[in-house]
Structure 1
Amino acid sequence: MQLLSGSLNIWCKLYGTLIATASFVTCASAQDLIYSPVNPAFGGSGLNSSHLLATANAQRDATASDANDGFGSTTDGTDASEQSDADLFVRQLEGRLLSALAGQVTDAIFGQNPQESGLVTFGTTTVQFSRTLDSISLLITDSLDGTVTEIIVPQLITGNS
């Protein structure tokens, strides 16, 4: 009987230990991670909008009205934003024509029949170019106001002749 009571005593201790251990162990549970945006523009809570707007305004150094539209001021001193549509069209047309002039000069220097020197005239602007062994020299003269600009571009020299 003592053997039976001893083994019962061991079983009771094991059972008690098992119950005590089980009470400390909890089941691990997991769930899917769900992304929820903060910005209301992307589906977040509308209550965040005033905070996000205040933060953006505090970080902004320049505004769209501070930006230069690329035209700057005109020769008569008026701001480019005060120009008429016709003035803007003339400026864009001048830019396109000057771009075509640059294309002609480039073609004369590097095209199908490259020239060693030449002269291209467009209105009051004259572009004179000359090619040397190590560089290409461009002399741009505006006869209207007498300004002269010289550009020297180095040529790529390779060992293959």
Structure 2
Amino acid sequence: MKLLTFLSFLFTISVYSQQLVYTPKNPNFGGETFNYQWLLSSAQAQNSFTDNQGSNDQQSELEYFQESLNSQLLGQLTRSVYNSELGDGLEPGTFNVGDLLLEIFESGEGLVVNILDTTTGEQTQIIIPN
């Protein structure tokens, strides 16, 4: 009787057991290649970022020339304001240049230039090391 019970137990184990096999979904890891389109569309649907670089069109020669001319004029204006207000170099003190308030002082790190836009309240700091 014990032998019959043991054989029936052994037979039921072999009947109901199966081998588990892992099959990946992603085709990059050996999965089905037909899943690629579904995975890509699912990822794009969840993506909340936009491509800002793709929207830039090529500049025409005229637009490029205009941008270059504006940059050169602004650079020349900046140099003339710098020379008229600050003279030969940066000296400690407080200076008003249009809507900008410049505060220049020496510190342990070097020469510090604080720039404050009085209209918007934006502020930046430039440190020139010794």
TM over 0.5: no
Output the TM-score relative to the length of structure 2. 0.38
The structure that has the greater radius of gyration is 1
Output the TM-score relative to the length of structure 1. 0.33
